[in-house]
Amino acid sequence: MTEFTVADLKDIMLKAADGTAPALDGDFLDTPFPELEFDSLAVLEIATLLQQNYHLVIPDEAVAELTSPRVVLDYVTARLRESE
pLDDT digits (tens, 9 = 90+) for 19-61: 776 778 788 999 999 999 999 999 999 999 999 999 999 999 9
- In the chain, how long is the greatest CA-to-CA distance? 35
Looking at residue 20, its pLDDT comes to 77
Looking at residue 26, its pLDDT comes to 80
Looking at residue 2, its pLDDT comes to 76
Within-domain flag for 30: yes
**Domain region containing 14:** 6-82
Q: Is the pLDDT of residue 7 over 90?
A: yes
Within-domain flag for 27: yes
Within-domain flag for 1: no
Within-domain flag for 65: yes
CB 17 within 8 A of CB 42: yes
Q: How many domains does the chain have?
A: 1
The CATH number linked to 60 is 1.10.1200.10
Q: Is the pLDDT of residue 70 over 60?
A: yes
Within-domain flag for 34: yes
Q: Is the pLDDT of residue 1 over 60?
A: no
Q: Which residues neighbour 80 within 8 Å (Cβ) at sequence distance 6 or greater?
A: 1, 2, 3, 4, 54, 56
Q: For residue 81, what is the enclosing H or E element?
A: helix 69-82
* Mean pLDDT for the stretch of residues 59-64: 96
Q: What is the DSSP string of 21-63?
A: SPP--SS-TTS-GGGGT--HHHHHHHHHHHHHHH-----HHHH
